[in-house]
Amino acid sequence: MGDIDFQAMEFAYEKHADQTASELARHRVVVVGAGPVGLTTALDLARQGVHVVVLDDDCRLSTGSRAICFSKRTLEIWDRLGVGQRMIDKGVSWNVGKVFFREQEVWRFDLLPEPGHRRPAFINLQQYYAEGYLYEQVRQQPDIDLRWKNKVAGVVQGDDGVTLTVETPEGPYTLHADWLIACDGARSPVRKLIGQESHGRIFRDRFLIADVKMTADFPSERWFWFDPPFHPNQSVLLHRQPDNVWRIDFQLGWNADPVEAVKPENVLPRIRALLGPDAQFELEWVSVYTFACERMDKFRHGRIVFAGDAAHRVSPFGARGANSGVQDAENLAWKLKLVLAGLAPDTLIDSYGAEREFAADENILNSSRATDFITPKSDISRSFRNAVLNLAKDHAFARSLVNSGRLSLPATYASSPLNTPDADAFTGRMVPGAVALDAPVQARGEPGWWLSQLDGGFVLALFCLDALPDRATLQALQALRMAPVPIKAVLVAGAQTDVSEAPADLAVVRDDEGLLAKRYDAQGGTAYLIRPDQHIAARWRAFNPEAVAAAVHRATGRA
């Protein structure tokens, strides 16, 4: 069976009972936008039992490759939502990147140099495939009501939610949402309807994107050229995608005419200059884009929350756009679930703003620096860049200054109000606010992965590397399931630990290779509290039920 042509699919408008209801239809959550961020948000909420209405003003998925680089962290999130493996199976996995200056390779880097990770640093996958796989997963969720050709045309906020006016081919109707999540893109109609704007910087440069179908023996790596002989004084990026499609980005300069630039007679000579005059290829898609780094001042406005490009936008080099949007979705979904269930105050949603606004600022900073390096704005800055590139071939210090796009990494919420500060000494990266690292484990006698044990709720990991805890500790761990906010306890056993006496209803994994303990700087008795979005909430050298309860209280916005 061949792949589905997601670009050609059209979804029929269907009239909904809400349109003719005698009373105003009321819904807990309405998501606007059926792109990667909106669909991920809806899936995450639905898998936690929250009914979601998704409104989209179109009847199609995206066309053209658009976002193509999906990071390890995004894949881990999609794993939890049941679509990660499908993305991997179709995508082109890669860890290695190369940087060229003129005719020479000056730097090679490996984004995942150590073994023991389930997912690669990145996959390349056309956005229409990512959206298509998310859409098919959404169709299997009875708690998601996806409505095509439903355009939000009016928004009125009240104390208890938002009233929407929705336009359809059969006329307008209104509905009420306790919470409205705007994932409606960089031009966000919802943002405009409430009188908000994004602020930031528009860069005076243009790039041409060309999707080229061809058979080539280039490796699955990221290749970036500064001032190559086939495109002098500019930059070029080459990526491999599935289906023998290659993504090529050509820097054009600010004075390029975007209408003329996309014409085949102007695109084809650029591609032949790169590939050679005899190269055989087909041009699949072409577009011109301008760099922008900007965000809204605040991501939460009453009962309206913004995510993805609607909230923030970055230049494409670094793969920070779609990846940060998916991380927005994961950050928001568990918090909104707890608020709707009455297990947390609605001020918990303020922490979504605090954490994801921080992440957006980090992405914008890195993206702006990359853009300034790629597109120098003065002779002095160009001379500095070229000197760095010349030195990078032979000197390690210069390689750290080369910036062809610092590639996306998940933010560490080091200053989050949800963190419980360390009271004990630790080393390593697993600080409160960091995203949990994966490692191979044995679960139920089968090889598995640590992140697969984190099931979308709070998890308390207790490392019992030499022996099981005493009976009182085991009983306290089992009691965590009955806490107001339930906590799943997982015993992490070392290679020599006898787990035969562990309670049958307590999860046990074996860290036979010791990688998990090493990555978490764990000793016997070390405990980690991990949030539903797999960020570290707290850690201790010894398990204390009262300390865990206080940390959960804090992590759910009740401190």
- The DSSP element (H or E) to which 351 belongs, if any, is helix 348-374
Of all residues in the chain, what percent carry a pLDDT higher than 70?
Answer: 100
Separation of CA 327 from chain center: 4
Would you say residue 1 has pLDDT above 50? no
Q: What is the pLDDT of residues 182-228, one digit of tens each?
A: 999 999 999 999 999 999 988 888 899 999 999 888 888 999 999 99
Residue 531 CA to residue 331 CA, distance in Å, equals 10
Q: Quick count: other Cβ atoms within 10 Å of Cβ 416? A: 19
Three-class SS state of 101: strand
pLDDT for the residue 204: 80
Residue 73: how many CB atoms within 10 A of its CB?
A: 21
What token pair was written down for 263?
Answer: 């014409």
Please give the single-letter amino acid code of residue 222.
R
Whole-angstrom distance, CA of residue 35 vs CA of residue 146: 12
Q: Is the pLDDT of residue 2 over 70?
A: no
E strands, 422-535, are: 440-443, 446-449, 458-464, 487-493, 507-510, 527-530
Collect all residues with Cβ–Cβ distance below 8 Å to 460 and sequence separation of at least 6: 477, 480, 487, 488, 489, 490, 527, 528, 529, 530, 543, 548
Mean pLDDT, rounded, of the chain: 94
Confidence bin at 372 (pLDDT 50/70/90): confident
Say which amino acid occupies 300. Answer: R
CB atoms within 10 A of CB 468: 20
Task: Considering only CA atoms, give the Rg of the chain.
Answer: 25
Handedness of CA 254, 257, 258, 260 (dihedral sign): negative
Q: Please, is 327 exposed, middle or buried when counting C-beta atoms within 10 Å of its C-beta (0-12, 13-18, 19+)?
A: buried
Residue 401 gets the label, from left (phi > 0), alpha (psi -120 to 50) or beta, of alpha
pLDDT at residue number 342: 96
According to DSSP H, which parts of 95-238 are helical? 127-139, 189-193
Q: Summarize pLDDT for 399-438 with one digit per residue, the tens.
A: 989 988 877 889 999 999 999 999 999 999 999 999 999 9
Q: What percent of the chain has pLDDT over 90?
A: 81
216-266 pLDDT, tens per residue?
Answer: 888 889 999 999 999 999 999 999 999 999 999 999 988 899 999 999 999
> Under 8 Å CB-to-CB from 337, ≥6 apart: which residues?
45, 48, 49, 50
Instruction: Give me 172's structure tokens.
Output: 């307008």
**CA proximity to 81, closest of 42, 23, 51, 50:** 42
Q: For residues 507, 509, 515 and 520, what is the CA-based torsion angle, rounded to 10 degrees? A: 20
Least confident of 94-98, 343-347, 349-353, 544-548: 94-98
Contacts of residue 140, defined as CB under 8 A and 6 or more positions apart, other chains included, come to none
Q: What share of the chain is helix, strand, coil (3-state, %, to 5)?
A: 30, 30, 40
Separation between Cα atoms, residue 393 and residue 169, nearest integer Å: 60
Between the alpha carbon of residue 205 and those of residues 65, 187, 223, 257, 384, the distances in Å are: 21, 20, 20, 11, 19
Residue of 168, 122, 159, 201 whose CA lies nearest to 368? 201
Contacts of 158 (CB under 8 A, 6+ apart): none
Nearest-angstrom CA–CA distance, 545 and 526 = 13
Q: What is the pLDDT of residue 352?
A: 98
pLDDT band of residue 453 (cuts 50, 70, 90) is very high
pLDDT of residue 201: 86
- The per-residue pLDDT for range 28-54, each reduced to its tens digit, is 999 999 999 999 999 999 999 999 999
pLDDT tens digit sequence for 528-540: 999 999 999 999 9
